[in-house]
Structure 1
Amino acid sequence: MSKIPKIIPISDLRQDASGVIKRLSASREPLFITQRGRPAVVMVSMKEYEHTQHELEILRLLARGEKEIEAGADCSLEEVMAEADSLLAEQQ
């Protein structure tokens, strides 16, 4: 069962930016901002943004490692996984 996304119009953000940011910082959920009734931007807390960027870095590493292994580069699956494990440990 998926959660209903939090959506607010940009006018609400203008009226209570401090409160919106405070609630967003306390949540791991993204906040969708609409403008003229249409999706405009998505906001997330800095902590959640950094977490997402770290996950993307790990996924890129794994994809690059897979390509290098397929191309016959001088690296092994164990080396790629060890580097990914190291990145995961940094996050915790």
Structure 2
Amino acid sequence: MQRAPKIIPISDLRRDANGIIKSVSASRDPLFITQRGRAAAVMVSMKEYEQTQHELEILRLLARGEKEIEAGVGFSLEEVMAEADALLAEQP
């Protein structure tokens, strides 16, 4: 079961920015910030942001690989696995 997202108004962020940043840094969960009752921003820890960017890069490489396969260009399985292993080893 998915947990309910943590949502705070921007006024709370203004009032206790330091405490909220500490809370987000300690948590793996995103914090949704509202302004005038509507979602305005999402705050995540630096660790979560870096992890997300790393996963996004892997997805980009997979998409590029699919396009290359469709175009009849590509690499051997050994080359692909070596590159994938190198990327996973970089994971924070």
> TM-score, normalising length from structure 2?
0.91
Tell me how far apart the structure 2 counterparts of residues 2 and 74 of structure 1 sit (CA, whole Å): 39
1:67 aligns with 2:77: no
Q: Which residue does 2:20 correspond to in 1?
A: 20
Q: Is the 8 A contact 2:65 2:74 kept in 1?
A: no
CA shift digits 1:15-39 (9 cap, x unpaired): 0000000000001110000001110
> In the TM superposition, what are the counterparts of 1:1-92 in structure 2 within 5 Å?
1-91=1-91
Q: Report the CA distance shift for 1:81/1:66 in structure 2 as closer, same or farther (over 3 A).
A: farther
Q: Is the 8 A contact 1:8 1:34 kept in 2?
A: yes
- Same amino acid, percent of matched pairs: 82
**Superposed structure 1 runs of 4+ greater than 4 Å apart:** none
Tell me how far apart the structure 1 counterparts of residues 62 and 78 of structure 2 sit (CA, whole Å): 11
Report the RMSD for the aligned CA atoms in angstroms.
1.3
Q: Report the CA distance shift for 1:18/1:8 in structure 2 as closer, same or farther (over 3 A).
A: same
Tell me how far apart the structure 2 counterparts of residues 23 and 38 of structure 1 sit (CA, whole Å): 22
Tell me how far apart the structure 1 counterparts of residues 74 and 25 of structure 2 sit (CA, whole Å): 43
Specify every segment of 5 or more residues in structure 1 that has no aligned partner in the other structure, as ranges: none
Tell me how far apart the structure 2 counterparts of residues 48 and 76 of structure 1 sit (CA, whole Å): 33
